[in-house]
Amino acid sequence: MVKRRRIALNYRVNYDFSAGIVIYIQNLIKGFKLLEDSLQPHLTIIYTEDSPIQEVKEIDYPYIDYFKYKPIRKNFFTKAINKISRETIGTNILRRYSFPSHADILYPYFDCDENFFLKRRYYWKPDFQEMYYPQYVSQVEYSYVVENMKRIASNQEYTLILSSQDSFNDFEKFFGPFRNRVKILRFISLLPDISQLNPKQVLMKYGIDKKFFVVSNQFWPHKNHRLVLEAINKIKEKHTDFVVVFTGKQSTYRDREYFSKLQVYINNENMKDHVRFIGFIPREDQLVIMKQSVAVIQPSLFEGWSTVIEDCKALNQYVLVGDLAVNQEQVNKNVRFFNRHSADDLAEQMDNLLTHPVKTESAPYDESIERFKQNLIDVFELEHVHS
């Protein structure tokens, strides 16, 4: 009889908070499904009222159950009882009902009263942008990241999963020497089937009737949308027949005026004819739009491992990306790099593609999928529990 690793996946997210994390967890489940049956772990999905749980159910993973996460209502009584119990027996008596304590691994690990029994903790840190751009996060968030990373680095029982060698270098730089285990899990994009969608109808749906580039980033300050607008401004007189399409929710808790400041710039520079904001759209539509574009633009000032770049690799689509070390680690075909601080450089690259369109080089994605499958086996030690 097969003994399966039991993994609880932390899916307490939604698209408003981070579309990237939602897709990351879904791709993990799709990746586990690609493994041979004897290696597939049993999954418990921890979700909340706002989590897109139906999308997980549609993956139809064979060994799975679900746990709806509800925080304890904290009042004077529960706080007093739990304070006494922690002092006497080391844990809280009052907990959530039937928390999934049977898991071998909770990933990504999060702290709550019921997790004391998990000595082996699998944390995830996609990148260390807070260390380079502390101005884009609150002091509370920055302090939490620093203290949490120090705590992880000091405990040999803990595992930290990173998404790139570049992130590993940063962890070593800021928090080394470390005692914890570190593993690298380079995620991929396992895309939904878009072959039945009519590209012309999708473009018409969003009023896209010119040659276009697309930017598919959340509207967070470090995503560097302003640079793209400045590049558009530099070539809009030469190329009157193109537009840049921006997808994604037009809000962020990190800078609530971020999107409005972009709009002010567009209005002041008379750029409305070259910019199209289409908001948060179905993923299938987003992928069709990316595939039909002149190129996808990924201008971020910082990334851990870009979902957008991975989507482009899976779609075999051309991409213009900022010159981050992690981007150069991630992609080497159908790509041009630009100085992420230079609107002139990006404008030149866009001008070149509009003037001299390029054909993408064939780059099969199968090898990436196979590496990801083996990566899942190694990181979660799936072979170790099978006889």
Cα angle 225, 284, 196 (rounded to 5 degrees) comes to 145
Contact 326, 307 (CB under 8 A): no
Encoding tokens for residue 48? 């909340």
Question: Digits of tens for pLDDT over the chain (387 positions)?
Answer: 678 999 999 999 998 888 889 999 999 999 999 999 999 999 999 999 999 999 999 999 999 999 998 766 666 666 677 677 767 776 666 665 556 767 889 999 987 766 766 767 899 999 999 999 998 888 999 999 999 999 999 999 999 999 999 999 999 999 999 999 999 999 999 999 999 999 999 999 999 999 999 999 988 888 999 999 999 999 999 999 999 999 988 766 666 788 899 999 999 999 999 999 999 999 999 999 999 999 999 999 999 999 999 999 999 999 999 999 999 999 999 999 999 999 999 999 999 999 999 989 888 899 999 999 999 999 999 987 655
In whole angstroms, what separates CA 30 from the centre of its chain?
A: 15
Those residues whose C-beta lies under 8 Å from the C-beta of residue 385, and which sit 6 or more positions away, are 3, 4, 5, 104
Instruction: Check which CATH number belongs to the domain holding 102 and give it.
Output: 3.40.50
Same domain, 213 and 303: yes
Same domain, 91 and 203: no
Same domain, 350 and 378: no
In whole angstroms, what separates CA 45 from the centre of its chain?
A: 18
Check residue 115 and give its pLDDT. Answer: 74
Instruction: Check which CATH number belongs to the domain holding 218 and give it.
Output: 3.40.50.2000
Q: What is the pTM of this model?
A: 0.88
In a domain, 192, yes or no: no
**DSSP three-state, residue 70:** coil
In a domain, 1, yes or no: no
In a domain, 193, yes or no: no
Same domain, 248 and 332: yes
Check residue 366 and give its pLDDT. Answer: 94
Same domain, 235 and 179: no
Check residue 85 and give its pLDDT. Answer: 72
Check residue 72 and give its pLDDT. Answer: 62
In a domain, 216, yes or no: yes
Same domain, 212 and 308: yes
In a domain, 194, yes or no: no
In a domain, 47, yes or no: yes
Domain count, the chain: 2
Same domain, 36 and 154: yes
Closest among 307, 298, 336 to 164, alpha carbons compared: 307
Same domain, 289 and 376: no
In a domain, 208, yes or no: yes
Same domain, 120 and 214: no
Q: What is the dihedral of CA 292, 366, 283, 319, to 10 degrees?
A: -40
Same domain, 78 and 177: yes
Biggest CA–CA distance in the chain, Å, is 74
Residue with tokens 């003037």: 355
Same domain, 167 and 209: no
Domain containing 276 equals 199-363
Check residue 1 and give its pLDDT. Answer: 64
Same domain, 141 and 262: no
In a domain, 169, yes or no: yes
